[in-house]
Amino acid sequence: MTADDPRQAGEPRTRDVTRACENAHIRVLWDATRCIHTAICLRRLPEVFDVGARPWIDLSGAEAEEIAATIRACPTGALATKAWRSPTSSRTNRRRPR
Ligand code: SF4
């Protein structure tokens, strides 16, 4: 099948791929098969979501709560966020052995 194959019309360019990115405050998942390219995320938070950049999600561009609010605006659930605590922050909360 080539890129011009009409059987690919309307098909996501990437199949069965969920990509994850994370920092110390938030973990973001993007399911390429659910994205219908509304560009809502790009318009709401271009400092984070930029299809011209690689990777296209840069979590350093905004605060976690702002990113989470944009994720909630995704109409298809292609973007999702999970409660997240980085491995380094969880280490500081561990009990010390007695
Ligand atoms: S808001 Fe959701 S569906 Fe729209 S482009 Fe972003 S990830 Fe895709």
N-to-C CA span, the chain: 63
**Of ligand 1's atoms, which has the minimum distance to the CA of residue 73?**
1
| Average pLDDT, integer, range 92-97 | 45
Q: Is residue 55 part of a domain?
A: yes
Q: Is residue 2 part of a domain?
A: no
d(CA 54, CA 73): 22
**What pLDDT is attached to residue 9?**
47
Q: Is residue 40 part of a domain?
A: yes
| pLDDT tens per residue across span 3-59 | 454 454 444 455 556 889 999 999 999 998 999 999 999 999 999 999 999 999 999
Q: Is the CB of 41 under 6 A from ligand 1?
A: yes
Enter the pTM of the model.
0.73
d(CA 38, CA 5): 23
Q: Is residue 73 part of a domain?
A: yes
Give residue 87's pLDDT band: very low, low, confident or very high (50, 70, 90).
low
**Number of domains observed in the structure of the chain:** 1
Q: Kindly report the CATH number assigned to the domain that includes residue 81.
A: 3.30.70.20
The Å distance, Cα 67 to ligand 1 centre, comes to 13
Q: Is residue 46 part of a domain?
A: yes
* 89 vs 63, residue with greater confidence: 63
The range of the structural domain enclosing residue 30 comes to 16-86
Cα–Cα distances (Å) from 72 to 25, 49, 75, 84, in that order, read: 16, 14, 8, 16
| pLDDT tens per residue across span 44-81 | 999 999 999 999 999 999 999 999 999 999 999 999 99
For residue 97, give the DSSP letter.
Answer: P
Cα–Cα distances (Å) from 86 to 24, 58, 61, 65, 93, in that order, read: 5, 17, 18, 16, 11
Q: Is residue 97 part of a domain?
A: no
Q: Is residue 31 part of a domain?
A: yes
Q: Is residue 57 part of a domain?
A: yes
